[in-house]
Amino acid sequence: MTECKPVVTENPWRRLSAWTDARIGLGRAGISLPTREMLAFQLAHAQARDAVHLPLDTDQLMADLKELTGSRKTLLRHDPVHLQSQACDRITYLQRPDLGRRLSSQSSEELDRRGHSGASPVDLALVIADGLSSYGVQQNAIAFLEALLTDIEADDQSWELAPLVVVSQGRVAIGDDVGHRLNARCVVVLIGERPGLSSPDSLGLYLTWQPGPGLTDASRNCISNIRPAGLSWGEASKRLMYLLREARRQKVSGVPLKDRSEETVIEQGIGNFLLR
């Protein structure tokens, strides 16, 4: 009997994957991906697709927010509100980013009826939007808010908060409209980020001082990659608190407001091992 060579050729450099998340040293069947690696990729893509297309469980989220509001009565004095953008479904949302930036007329009226615009301004509005990853919101929003509200309560200055708002089919800029109608000095949008293959569950934060019509991304500050395997809820809250205090002090956000709280990146590995 002749001895068979293995069908899959493993790569002796696979152990390099200890130093990077890149899919290196995958081996090959002929010159193609081995079955195991092909299916691992398909699984990651399936999770990312589900993150985009599975609707946010707003009933659960609203119930959780109501509970959160009840447990923080000194900070949150109104019930949470659920709103809708002008994008009526996911397909429209994906093709018409402009519609995801505007509130539906019903939601605008509902917010206006609450009469915030006539009252004296509040310091901060927190808006949760599904964005491009319902996983990102579902897995991180409540835990992050717990951390943030604790930090806000512990802050030297007092913060008056608008009711918590959830927007379905929302883009980042919808916070401008919501914050404006809530008469808030500052708005922070918690939004599901465009899912990567290895990060389908990422939450992003966007801070805007003096939200209103006509603003662009240049007037926002962003904190990205909030998830258990990325930036932790506590660390994200600390960074946001820094930005909130600075925005309030300088009365500005976006390009002029630099995030100096960010640590410098430390080289993790052992350098360029390819060199003699």
Does 15 contact other proteins by CB under 8 A? yes
Q: In the Cβ-directed half-sphere of 262, how many Cα atoms lie within 13 Å?
A: 12
Cβ-contact 162, 114 below 8 angstroms: no
For residues 119 and 153, give the distance between their C-alpha atoms in angstroms, rounded to a whole number: 23
Q: How far apart are CA 205 and CA 59, in angstroms?
A: 22
CB of 168 to other proteins, least distance (A): 16
User: Tokens standing for 59?
Assistant: 């009933």
- Told to check if 95 binds other proteins by CB under 8 A, we report yes
* Strand order across the 220-226 sheet: 81-84, 165-168, 125-129, 186-192, 203-209, 220-226
CB 136 within 8 A of CB 192: yes
By CB under 8 A, tell whether 4 contacts other proteins.
no
What minimum distance in Å lies between the beta carbon of 243 and other proteins? Answer: 20
9 belongs to the binding site for other proteins (CB under 8 A): yes
Instruction: For residue 213, state whether it binds other proteins (rule: CB under 8 A).
Output: no
Name which of 43, 16, 14 is nearest 28 in CA terms. 14
Among 198, 217, 229, 256, binds other proteins (CB under 8 A): 198
Selected range binding other proteins among 115-123, 136-144, 251-259, 265-273, rule: CB under 8 A: 265-273
Q: Is 222 in the site for other proteins (CB under 8 A)?
A: no
Residue ranges of E strands in 139-242: 165-168, 186-192, 203-209, 220-226
Task: Restricting to residues 21-60, name those near other proteins by CB under 8 A.
Answer: 21-26, 28, 31-33, 37, 41-42, 44-45, 48-49, 51-52
Tokens of 80: 């949470």
* Distance of closest approach, residue 170 Cβ to other proteins, in angstroms: 14
Residue (39 or 63) nearer to other proteins, CB: 39
Q: Is there a contact between 205 and 223 (Cβ–Cβ < 8 Å)?
A: yes
Q: State the residue for tokens 């429209």.
A: 92
Nearer to other proteins, 48 or 161 (CB): 48
Give min distance, CB of 12 to other proteins, in A. 5
Which amino acid makes up residue 180?
H
Task: Select the span of 20-28, 70-78, 108-116, 206-214 touching other proteins (CB under 8 A).
Answer: 20-28
CB of 26 to other proteins, least distance (A): 6
Backbone φ, ψ for residue 162 (5° rounding) = -75, 165
Which of residues 163, 200, 204, 211 is near other proteins by CB under 8 A? Answer: 200
Q: Per-residue contact track with other proteins, 109 to 138, x per CB under 8 A?
A: -----------------------x------
Q: Give the type of residue at 78.
A: H
Residues of this chain that bind other proteins (CB under 8 A): 9, 11-26, 28, 31-33, 37, 41-42, 44-45, 48-49, 51-52, 94-98, 132, 194-200, 265, 267-276
